[in-house]
Amino acid sequence: MSDSIPMTPESYEKLQQELKQRMRVDRPKVVEDIAEARSHGDLSENAEYDAAKDRQGHVEARIKELNDRIARAEVIDPKKIQSNKIVFGATVTLFDVDNENEVIYQIVGEDEADIKLGKISVTSPVGKALIGHVLDDEVRIRVPSGLKVYEVTDIEYK
């Protein structure tokens, strides 16, 4: 895969910090654990060794995944965007026509999406549906619970 992955500067920094943790702390620790388990003798019946090797596989897989995501990162700073359309990084205020209440979402990358914080992925059904719309547009979004109708009441880049 060579597709770029859009992300905010905060998400990029978080991935870099996790990669450092995995390489500088987790990897050496698991190597240490494997060496300790080896010193106990017969590896064929050594549960500690098997567990340490499993952890090593998980750590190495995550390091590989983080390196890939960082290499393909397209860091987009929402503060530098000037657009009247909804694009990646936008903080959008929507009026839910059915429930008659307001919701606020920021459109972010997959790694930082967290609905509890009002952050939705640009690849989610709602995120995809909002992209390209402008102020006062009515947006119809098919979600698992049915059809949602929103009116775009504000678009900010912060």
Return the half-sphere exposure (C-beta side, CA atoms, 13 A cut-off) of residue 18.
17
Pick 68 or 43 by higher pLDDT: 68
Provide the 3-class DSSP secondary structure of residue 8. coil
Q: How many CA atoms lie within 13 A of 119 on its CB side?
A: 13
pLDDT at residue 1 greater than cutoff 50: no
What domains does the chain contain, in order, with CATH numbers? 5-75 (1.10.287.180), 78-156 (3.10.50.30)
Average pLDDT taken over every residue of the chain: 91
Pair of tokens at residue 149: 């109708």
* The pLDDT value given to residue 43: 65
87-112 per-residue burial string, b: 16 or more CB within 10 A, e: under 16:
bbbbbbbbbeeeeeeeeebbbbbebb
Query: Which residues lie closer than 8 Å to 56 by C-beta, 6 or more apart?
Result: 27, 30, 31, 34
Residue 98 predicted with pLDDT over 90: no
Taking 50 as the threshold, does the pLDDT of residue 5 lie above it? yes
101-108 and 119-121 strand pairing? parallel
- Structure confidence at residue 2 (pLDDT): 56
